[in-house]
Structure 1
């Protein structure tokens, strides 16, 4: 914190002429908002992330512990092309205890039900719940929860392929973490990253950005999202909280309810699931719109979490900045980038290039952390230079406006639909 605040103070001092010059052009309030949300606040966050990654030493999983049976819930809506691979990955798990798999078909009409039934006929550990009408992901998971009897349940997306020791590593982290840990988020990686430019960029988003954020949040005793794509939950706590709320961001709202009750959320960086990310621009925008709406839902449902005295509260406050930063980026930085192309350097200019070495250092540190985890799992990082360049230099041009679209969708209460991501 001392380092990050010092960096922010230096940034403000260095930016004083910029504040003055921009205020002359567009007015003081707008200038101060843009510079603060485009440069100052993100700089503070990046400095905090950098130092935290340097200091983080994750405690190892306790080796000689007694594993316990688990129930896996898979909410499926028209997943006939992927559900077989998902179930196959679960049946190959190196887990010493029983794994019960419950597939909830949420009104599927594409053959998902027949596919699951044919697989379940040869495996007594697979159970199918057939819901005739589509009720949404939260409703489907709650139907599955009512059939679970084990102390812990794990949720997996219907197109997720769990690495061979994924369940063991996820449960191992839960059993090794402090006793107030009631959920553990797994590590989501991209399976279809070779399809096109948008999937190639998302591979780096998950491997570098999302993974590092979860690692650091766990370091400060509370990962903020135990994502539905691959996470473990204490069944009794789920029942205590009424299961998954029927909202577009059911996983983040549920996680914040747990944090609000004083529970801790962990992160297992070596519990890997490979999933299909959106492969079109339209699907990507809709996904990030849902995520942004989920963030606003979480604040609306758990406003008092901002005032709990715990380390995680810092990151909750950070989330209040994301809508403001995304708005500033969309309506300030992107227009500034266009102006710079015509030699008007109000917001973006030659000085912006001085940030590249610092951005490179942060991404390199994130990469080293991820590479070390991959090596421990005997995996290698595939070459993806185009995706990395696009991720660093152009990804935000799509991401931030998509997030702003989500915030306004929730603000104006536009129609919601459930997705598997």
Structure 2
């Protein structure tokens, strides 16, 4: 394992030494992905023939495409792009811009003190203003935030917003902002001591049409139980890889509210956060629609608390899936002005199809496989594992180097990794399908 990672690392270093224009990277990525699909189709012909005898050829093609061809294409595009990624250096290492931090809080009395303390300990040279928005809390969030601000000598305001919903809370805070830059973090999110410095340095080092930078959000409660251990790898490898890939093509699709930096005038240009369950998704797509760009900064790291109970996890991830559908309804991919963002947002059009196939075909096929029936799941499905393994190795190398630069260590979590690779999608796809169902039937929204 270690020797494989070192070999891949050496290859990455040699490739990253070359400068390749973004447009060329885009075409190379699609070219490699297309070749991968051609190879997959040729190898899977016996599988396709066998399955078509049971469910007809069109149905077999739809099933295998959802299990292997389309995911293989997307994965190959991701891996190829990451191999060519070359993160630009900061033009300014220690910016001093005045920044306002917005924290929307609902019943966060237990965690708000820690969140504010970590902001206080930032190695940032500029002035940090903080606005905590208490959104109908039934505990002592307001009082605790106010007291902590006084104890830590913070430039902090605490306001109340009676209209429920995170978007209302954030917009109430936005109306109080007087600085050019706005940072949002969740009330249970802890910033690495250099997080603010790195995320501001990134936005100051980018072209003027970049209006937001998403930070890297990782798991802080990964030792709570097995579910949180699995999510540690999802945030560390899965979500980080997708954001880095999207950022390469100047269209990170979610500047997440948990930790992102925005230009204030860009927020006001699009009317702030929309009335949506995925308010940060729709906000980001509105930026892209207005010919703005959104980047990702892997060195800007924050740690958030993830759900440790399955029902809370399902509620969170179904909300994310529902937010994606909301974004597709509000901002169509073909309305995006740039070719890269047309493609990146357009990929989301096939996600429901993939989740449905995985839920209603692959999972039943896996059960049949256990009883010796290899109609859907069998030896051929193992063909996608090498690409998945390579992509995770690449991301592990990137993330390990980032941790080294931040004086952090990757904690050992072998059981979580194995379950993440083998079992995570079995949980995720049905949960996402439930989110699509909620949006299709306009079921009641829930913030938490």
Q: Shorter-chain TM-score category?
A: over 0.9
Aligned to 2:365: 336
Q: What is the CA distance between 1:14 and its match in structure 2?
A: 2.1
Q: Residue 264 of structure 1: which of 290, 293, 317 is its match? A: 293
The residue matched to 2:348 in structure 1 has which SS?
Answer: helix
Q: What is the CA distance between 1:29 and its match in structure 2?
A: 3.0
2:342 aligned with 1:313: yes
How big is each residue's C-alpha offset from its partner over 1:112-141, in whole Å with a ceiling of 9 and x where there is no partner? 11111211233250110023x351100000
CA contact under 8 A between 1:163 and 1:272: conserved in structure 2? yes
Alpha-carbon distance in 2 for matches of 1:282, 1:290: 12
CA contact under 8 A between 1:260 and 1:305: conserved in structure 2? no
Q: What is the CA distance between 1:356 and its match in structure 2?
A: 2.9
Aligned to 2:11: none
Q: What is the CA distance between 1:285 and its match in structure 2?
A: 0.4
2:316 aligned with 1:302: no
Aligned to 2:19: none
The residue matched to 1:121 in structure 2 has which SS?
Answer: helix
Change in CA separation of 1:22 and 1:308 when aligned onto 2, cut-off 3 Å: farther
Aligned to 2:78: 49
CA contact under 8 A between 1:67 and 1:172: conserved in structure 2? no
Q: What is the CA distance between 1:319 and its match in structure 2?
A: 1.1
Aligned to 2:157: 127
Q: Residue 115 of structure 1: which of 124, 138, 144 is its match? A: 144
The residue matched to 1:239 in structure 2 has which SS?
Answer: helix
How big is each residue's C-alpha offset from its partner over 1:320-342, in whole Å with a ceiling of 9 and x where there is no partner? 11111011000010000000001
Alpha-carbon distance in 2 for matches of 1:125, 1:340: 61
The residue matched to 2:340 in structure 1 has which SS?
Answer: coil
Q: Residue 29 of structure 1: which of 58, 70, 74 is its match? A: 58
How big is each residue's C-alpha offset from its partner over 1:321-367, in whole Å with a ceiling of 9 and x where there is no partner? 11110110000100000000010001111233343333222211111
Aligned to 1:369: 398
The range that moved more, 64-73 or 97-106, is: 64-73
Alpha-carbon distance in 2 for matches of 1:251, 1:192: 23
Number of matched residues? 418
The range that moved more, 71-80 or 237-246, is: 237-246
Alpha-carbon distance in 1 for matches of 2:202, 2:50: 52
Q: What is the CA distance between 1:20 and its match in structure 2?
A: 2.3
- Using the size of structure 2 for normalisation, the TM-score is 0.91
How big is each residue's C-alpha offset from its partner over 1:44-63, in whole Å with a ceiling of 9 and x where there is no partner? 11111111111111001113
The residue matched to 1:178 in structure 2 has which SS?
Answer: coil
Alpha-carbon distance in 1 for matches of 2:73, 2:79: 10
CA contact under 8 A between 1:306 and 1:317: conserved in structure 2? no
Aligned to 1:171: 200
| Pairs within 5 Å for 1:73-222 | 73-122=102-151, 123-131=153-161, 133=162, 135-222=164-251
Alpha-carbon distance in 2 for matches of 1:303, 1:64: 37
How big is each residue's C-alpha offset from its partner over 1:225-265, in whole Å with a ceiling of 9 and x where there is no partner? 00000001111111111110011000000000000010000
2:429 aligned with 1:389: no
Alpha-carbon distance in 2 for matches of 1:183, 1:64: 18
Change in CA separation of 1:354 and 1:125 when aligned onto 2, cut-off 3 Å: same
Q: Residue 402 of structure 1: which of 431, 438, 442 is its match? A: 431
CA contact under 8 A between 2:289 and 2:336: conserved in structure 1? no
Alpha-carbon distance in 2 for matches of 1:31, 1:3: 25
Aligned to 2:17: none
CA contact under 8 A between 1:306 and 1:316: conserved in structure 2? no
Q: What is the CA distance between 1:147 and its match in structure 2?
A: 0.3
Gaps of 5+ in 1: none
Q: What is the CA distance between 1:27 and its match in structure 2?
A: 2.5
CA contact under 8 A between 2:278 and 2:324: conserved in structure 1? yes
The residue matched to 1:258 in structure 2 has which SS?
Answer: helix
The residue matched to 1:311 in structure 2 has which SS?
Answer: helix
The residue matched to 1:206 in structure 2 has which SS?
Answer: helix
- Using the size of structure 1 for normalisation, the TM-score is 0.97
| Pairs within 5 Å for 1:240-255 | 240-255=269-284
Alpha-carbon distance in 2 for matches of 1:303, 1:66: 36
Alpha-carbon distance in 2 for matches of 1:65, 1:363: 32
Q: Residue 236 of structure 1: which of 265, 289, 311 is its match? A: 265
The residue matched to 1:129 in structure 2 has which SS?
Answer: strand
CA contact under 8 A between 2:171 and 2:272: conserved in structure 1? yes
The residue matched to 2:87 in structure 1 has which SS?
Answer: coil
